[in-house]
Amino acid sequence: MRPDGTFPHLRLARRDFLYGLGASLGSVAFTSLLADEAGRAGVAGPHLPAKAKNVIFLMMEGGPSHIDTFDPKPALERMHLKEFVREGRQKSAMESGRRYYVRSPFKFIKAGQSGADMAENWSHLAKVADELCFWRGCTVDSVNHPTAMYQMNTGNRFGGDPGIGAWVNYGLGSENKDLPGFVVLPEASHPQGGAANWGSGYLPARLQGTPLRPKGAPVLDLLPPDGVSRERQRANLDLLAKLNAAHAEVHPGRDDLTARMESYELAFRMQAQVPEALDLAGEPERVREEYGLNSPVTASFGRKCLLARKLVEKGVRFVQLYHGSWDSHDFIERAHGNLVGAVDRPIAALIADLKRRGLLDSTLVVWCGEFGRTPDNGVRQGTAYGRDHNPNAMTVWMAGGGCKAGHTFGATDELGMEAVELKRHVRDFHVTLLRLLGLDDNRLTFYHAGRFKQLSQFGGEVIRELIA
């Protein structure tokens, strides 16, 4: 014990305290509480008129093939199994031996009045094709999963920077002071790069994403123990507040103690909102069927999509959903076929449900992976064709939130190797997403390590073609 009465070995930094809370109601409350502090400090608020106020970000981890989903390449039919020689291009660690062009195993259709190109196994998404804005010109810098995931999620290939949801949370704050501003719905195993994909980086720890558990109770310790009433909880909190306040007077400047005190109050308030927000059992059978909750194929991602709608409806600013792995180096017909089958119905239901509830105009839905895939691959197992990583061409689509629905922008070359029209770096896409939310990337900055930092790293340009 120091002369001033403190115990230095027991002192917790804010970040240490936050991580120590684990995946419980306390961690959710603490993250949300401190995000609200950012708003009170004057950080939150749009710079420009906003077209969207919420984001649902559908992250298809592993790198979905644009050539086998939304960017048909008929030229590959005549090139199928002809030898391919790569010259002057980035190689991934997976490449070896002789390589061959590979045609898509999927047939394509023209969907909706807009005539959007889709592989025919997107049978449900085709019904909402006119709500989608496709962009075929996105490029990134890395051919490897962790670094590409970091770049798509944070703007930086090397990790440690804030996730895009943290930036949005920093810029706008939460619409609901009783819920987190940034929620993540991951797989049972985290994506490559781990939780740093939704971390707060050099921004305050309060802005990081709050992950909900993919199975069982989304939040642990949500309800009080048996036999503990709300009245008893209230009395306990009042007593604890008095004791903590007395301790704070003796030890001023302990902001972690103040935050801890307030987080108890927030957790108490959240118990009234969170159960309803996360309760899917009360949804009408029609809605459960639409999202695919009654099928083992679609139930997992359907649950995430329905939770995302409910969370946005309750005022959560940014919800990120993960689905993987789309890393189909071989057996692409079976692998991508199963993956599309798992997400097609839930995503289509999400878009239709948002529109029916009047939420689509204010909610930006984004679908992407960390990179596209090549038109070639090695033949490793007889006819088990697949594709390699491709940072030079990928398809991204958006719906709602002020994007230009019913249009397709950009193009790749005839084989799908490189973007050739409206070719823009992912930093420009990040800047565009911020602009739709009323945020200016050049003004949404944070001083760190001697300079003002931003999501785009060093500036980008809005892709105006994508904005209605």
Does position 351 have pLDDT exceeding 70, yes or no?
A: yes
Query: Cα torsion at 302, 108, 141, 455 (round to 10°)?
Result: -50
- The predicted structure's pLDDT at residue 189: 87
> Domain locations in the chain?
8-466
- The predicted structure's pLDDT at residue 18: 40
Tens of pLDDT, residues 281-332: 889 999 999 999 999 999 999 999 999 999 999 999 999 999 999 999 989 9
SS3 124: coil
Q: Summarize the confidence of residues 220-248 as an average pLDDT.
A: 74
Q: Yes or no: say if 140 and 394 are a contact pair by the CB < 8 Å rule.
A: yes
Side-chain-side CA neighbours of residue 92 (13 Å): 24
> Regarding beta strands 54-60 and 83-84, do their DSSP bridges make them parallel or antiparallel, or are they unpaired?
unpaired
Whole-angstrom Cα distance, residue 459 to residue 375?
A: 32
Q: What CATH number belongs to 8-466?
A: 3.40.720
What residue type is assigned to position 116 of the chain? A
Block residue for tokens 């770049």: 151
- The predicted structure's pLDDT at residue 6: 37
Q: How far is CA 154 from CA 90, 104, 341, 430, 444, in A?
A: 22, 31, 29, 9, 14
Query: For 61-70, 242-251, 435-444, which range has the lowest pLDDT when averaged over its residues?
Result: 242-251
SS3 395: strand
Query: For 180-189, 205-214, 451-460, which range has the lowest pLDDT when averaged over its residues?
Result: 205-214
Whole-angstrom Cα distance, residue 323 to residue 186?
A: 7
Does position 246 have pLDDT exceeding 70, yes or no?
A: yes
- The predicted structure's pLDDT at residue 86: 64
Confidence of residue 381 (pLDDT cuts 50, 70, 90): low
- The predicted structure's pLDDT at residue 33: 53
Tokens read off for 326? 């789309």
Helix, strand, coil percent content, the chain, rounded in steps of 5: 40, 15, 45
Tokens read off for 394? 């990928």
Q: What is the pTM for the complete model shown?
A: 0.84
Q: How far is CA 143 from CA 388, 389, 424, in A?
A: 9, 6, 17
